[in-house]
A and B are shown apart, each in its own frame.
Chain A
Amino acid sequence: MTIELRGKSAIVGTGHAGFGEAHGLTAYDVMAQSALAALGDAGLKLSDVDGLFCTMMEDSMPALMAAEYLGIQPRFIDGTMSGGSSFVNYLTSATMALDAGLCDVALIVYGSNQRTASGRLVTASRPPAYEAPYNPRYPISAYAMAAARHMHEYGTTREQLADVAVAARAWAQRNPEAFERGPLTREDVLGARMVGDPLTVRDCCLVTDGGGAIVMVRADRARDFPKAPVYVLGSAAESSHRQISQMKDFTVTAARDSGARAFAAAGVTPADIQAVELYDAFTINTILFLEDLGFCAKGEGGAFVEGGRIAPGGVLPVNTNGGGLSCVHPGMYGIFTVIEAARQIRGDAPGIQLKDVDLALAHGNGGVLSSQVTAILGSQNTL
């Protein structure tokens, strides 16, 4: 997204279908509940939606399946599947489509029942041919190898990784919507079952059911809705690989590029950001993205997160809902980074509401650190 599109679109509704277990519901049921929640938040009806932005884990034509289920006939659809980053990516395509008049009400939506359906990652994606014979556990082996390389090059420790999970839990404990709210210490994380060295099960995101949705309109009518509008000031993507064996530098993600361009479009810097919502599928993600987005230097992410520095009361509020590690992770978490960022700006965050948030960052990750998408959201004051 270029600077010409800064503030041209706004989020006027957010919603979700609850986090946890959706017994008896299909992924599309959860998707539809999420859509209704977000449209209700915006004071709109499904029949108002003429742009649909959706992907699901189960199918290769999910946007069509979703439109059919919802009983709508959208004139613009985007079902680009870049993994969990897709829903942050849709902020760009929705803004473009709205600005071009290709649609007037954009609905970004996702739902999953992966916890009750199988208890593990559901995917329509085929294992890469040159990796599958070695049986990497997808996706954790990929992230484990990134973590191992980061530890090797920069001296990052398992304790620092653990502190990411502990901070996420501390935010979640204050969020009644979060799925995991029990106490969690560094020792708990380190002593948990090892899944893929150096990551224990507590270094890994949750497996929950859940879904989320966002309603967007053009900025010129964004103030006609019940909730305060949240503007998309900048959003940008960068894709670097699909298979982890093809990642050029295991310690540097394409977030460096997506972040730089999102900040440039928004005309702000990391120092301006008041709430940071990162896709924390694994504890190493938070460290990598804080570095690559410019909140700290490369290699300093471990020290940056250590000892509660990104927990409530720390130096930087990161994943204020509890993140994918403790709040919700239904296969793809990306949409929840946007929902939490928007709610922090609107002032109706379900957990700890930070004071006077005008600028928040949502960052989506897809595949195995493959697709990175960064969005900067702002209040009316930032236009």
Chain B
Amino acid sequence: MQDAIGPDQFFQRALAEGEILLPKCDDCGAYHFFPRVLCPHCHGSAISWMKARGKGRVHTTTVVRRKPERGGDYNVCVVELDEGVRMMSRVEGIAPGEVAIDMPVTAFVGEAEGAPAVLFKPSER
């Protein structure tokens, strides 16, 4: 095997530079997420990286209830991006309980657990 930057590394390095890249299949043209060495739709292995447009909608959402002394409640959701892929994330900038299914959201690179992560905020209308 030759040395390479694996799909996960490629994604994480871009994220560390503030860029959200999404893997897209050269063969069938579909996006996928999470990053991997093949396309889960057609199983082709020619994958290109595309800059995410960063627009999506909340597909589903929950509030993780946590005691205030441990940091309080927070949002966990699954966002569907306009590119057709879904990812787990959270919506920031509003109360966790205000995050609603179908709400339009915009991606940004923030921080989760001390590492760069894709987060979302409500889209400006």
Contact = CB atoms under 8 A, between A and B. Distances in A.
A94 to B, nearest CB: 32
A68 to B, nearest CB: 36
A196 B66 CA distance: 9
Contacts of B106: none
A250 B59 contact: yes
Contact of B62 (A129, A145, A152, A193): A145
Given A148-B101, A245-B86, A245-B87, A136 B64 contact: yes
Contacts of A197: 62-63, 65, 97
Given A133-B112, A145-B78, 5 more contacts: A130-B88, A134-B89, A146-B60, A152-B60, A197-B63
Given A130-B34, A136-B76, A148 B60 contact: yes
Contacts of A129: 8, 34
A135 B65 contact: no
B65 A136 contact: no
B60 A141 contact: no
17 contacts: A130-B34, A131-B88, A133-B112, A133-B115, A135-B64, A136-B88, A137-B76, A145-B60, A149-B60, A152-B101, A193-B65, A194-B65, A196-B63, A197-B65, A198-B62, A244-B88, A250-B60
A96 interface: no
B74 interface: yes
A134 B76 contact: yes
Given A197-B97, A245-B78, A246-B86, A133 B60 contact: no
A383 interface: no
Contacts of B115: 133
Contacts of A144: 62
A315 interface: no
Interface of A: 129-137, 141, 144-146, 148-149, 152, 193-198, 243-246, 250
B8 A244 contact: no
Nearest to B32: A246
Interface of B: 8, 33-34, 59-65, 74, 76-78, 86-90, 97, 101-102, 112-113, 115, 117
Contacts of A198: 62
Contacts of B88: 130-131, 134, 136, 243-245
B76 A135 contact: yes
Nearest to B63: A197
A130 to B, nearest CB: 4
Nearest to B101: A152
B64 A141 contact: yes
A149 B57 CA distance: 13
Contacts of A137: 64, 76
Contacts of A148: 60-62, 101
A149 B61 CA distance: 8
Nearest to A147: B62
Given A152-B101, A245-B78, A130 B65 contact: no
A246 B41 CA distance: 13
Nearest to A250: B60
Contacts of B89: 134
